Amino acid sequence: MHTDTERCVRAVRSNDARFDGWFFTAVLTTGIYCRPSCPAVPPKAENMTFYPSAAACQQAGFRACKRCRPDTSPGSPEWNARADTVARAMRLIHDGVVDREGVPGLAGRLGYSARQIERQLLAELGAGPLALARAQRAQTARLLIETTALPMADVAFAAGFASIRAFNDTVREVFAQSPSELRSRAASRASRTADSPRGVISLRLPFRAPLTPDKLFGHLVATAVPGVEEWRAGAYRRTLTLPYGHGIAALTPRPDHIACRLSLTDPRDLTLAISSCRRLLDLDADPVAVDEQLRADPELAPLVDKAPGRRVPRTVDAAEFAVRAVLGQQVSTAAARTHAARLVTAHGVPVEDPEGGLTHLFPAPAALASLDPGALALPRTRRTTLTTLVAALAEGSLRLGADSDWEQARAQLAELPGFGPWTVEVIAMRGLGDPDAFLPTDLGMRRAAQGLGLPATPAALTARAAGWRPWRAYAVQYLWATEDHAVNRLPV
């Protein structure tokens, strides 16, 4: 979008928050860059230039605006609506892969050379993987500086910097303030958590309005695995398996943000923890674009107008969700939770939760690879489905995650015994994040379609849904929400 100068100028002049994260405005006369919704008086059009990423702005020598804080914009919805190499690379960079594995590790996950990845990112984003990762490190550092009492040296290494000097130089260059100045400036803010227990970080997760939270949180809580997830004091809480340790996330819906409280055993996991929470709640979606497309169907329009901004409840771990999808085949929600709880108790890693009732991490595929099929209270065919899936995940022949090619993953899943269209598509929708995943064979979908006068047979419903593309996963949420079920209600 940043190449459409006229459209960008209109968005800046109208302070249009819908475009935050889509592009960034660099002001030639001041040397700063802003989000489109910056409340400052818009500069003259001839003094504005536009970039596709904060990293590109920083690479061009611009510093972040202190008023609108463009580094806190919601992420671009483009990366979660695409499955090409650039989009997959951006999802991995957001997960901190470059900090942990370097550019060669990023390229290896995507199946390209480091040079090819560099070229593709430069062409589309105006910055290479190192610059993009540096911008994210700066954002993480600012968050830790302003919301925790961690010593600056701990902040530097937790944010992913290799040295304190690089940390200091980057913060000064990006924010035009030293780390200590940033902390002093934030000292009086309500978000400061200096008195919080060590390892606990409170922050606000922004999103593009509107967002209707009832079904989003209702689905997560109604399907929650005991010991791994819970609803407590108005917050959805769950354990997180992270590269350097583990964590607990508590997510509370607010009118203009999601309140997030993270308890981490190692602060170096902050970047991935935030990225996982945003992905879980689909916070980088563009609800205006989605709802505009779905409103074009006269049968869906009343549903969209009643509760605009529905999100797809996703997951923090695609492999975990695939296992849970198999456990949920042809059984009730309660039965699926029971099966998953048994696996967690037998094979999950125990954790301590001083604030609630979380007891375990969901078991990794490697931990489930040795399970005894005879100990599973499942039909024989489903035992085979589960053990085959777990073996493929554990040995690495099947990889599900932010770097997955959606169509390739679908093809691999479909080759496994017991994986029909419903299981493949629900994993694509909630596990992999494909916004166009569709479930025409789902019983709830067919009932909702019939009640609205839509075609109820899978083939006819698929044909009708062609007009909903590329947002069919969101249409599924609107249709599912027509039923009176616990998954569609915000817990009390």
Indicate the pairing of strand 63-64 with strand 229-232: unpaired
What angle do the packed helices 333-347 and 318-327 form, to 10 degrees? 120
Amino acid identity at 449? A
Dihedral angle sign, alpha carbons of residues 327, 330, 333, 339:
negative
Dihedral angle sign, alpha carbons of residues 123, 49, 282, 353:
positive
Distance CA 144, CA 183 (A): 9
Q: Going along 197-293, which residue ranges are E strands?
A: 200-205, 229-232, 235-241, 246-253, 258-264
The token pair that represents 223 in the structure block: 């399907």
Q: Are residues 366 and 54 in contact, defined by beta-carbon separation less than 8 angstroms?
A: no
Q: Are residues 436 and 471 in contact, defined by beta-carbon separation less than 8 angstroms?
A: yes
- 26 membership: H or E segment, kind and range: strand 24-27
What is the DSSP code (8-state) at residue 230?
A: E
The token pair that represents 101 in the structure block: 């594995």
Residue 442 designated active-site: yes
Tell which residue, 114, 486, 463, has the closest CA to residue 472.
463
Q: Which residues pair with 249 in a beta bridge?
A: 238, 262
Residue 65 designated active-site: no
Q: Is 313 helix (H, G, I), strand (E, B) or coil?
A: coil
The radius of gyration computed from the CA coordinates of the chain, to the nearest angstrom, equals 23
Distance CA 211, CA 60 (A): 34
Distance CA 436, CA 279 (A): 16
Amino acid identity at 28? L
Tell which residue, 121, 319, 310, has the closest CA to residue 208.
310
From 282, 286, 297, 442, the catalytic residue:
442
Q: Name every residue whose Cβ is closer than 8 Å to that of residue 339 and which is 6 or more positions away in sequence.
A: 327, 331, 376, 377, 378
Q: Are residues 47 and 28 in contact, defined by beta-carbon separation less than 8 angstroms?
A: yes
The token pair that represents 159 in the structure block: 């944010």
From 34, 65, 68, 277, the catalytic residue:
34
Indicate the pairing of strand 258-264 with strand 246-253: antiparallel
Alpha-helical runs (H) found in 245-364: 270-280, 287-295, 301-306, 318-327, 333-347
Q: How far is CA 224 from CA 48, 281, 377, in A?
A: 48, 14, 19
Indicate the pairing of strand 32-34 with strand 63-64: parallel
Q: Which residues are catalytic?
A: 34, 442
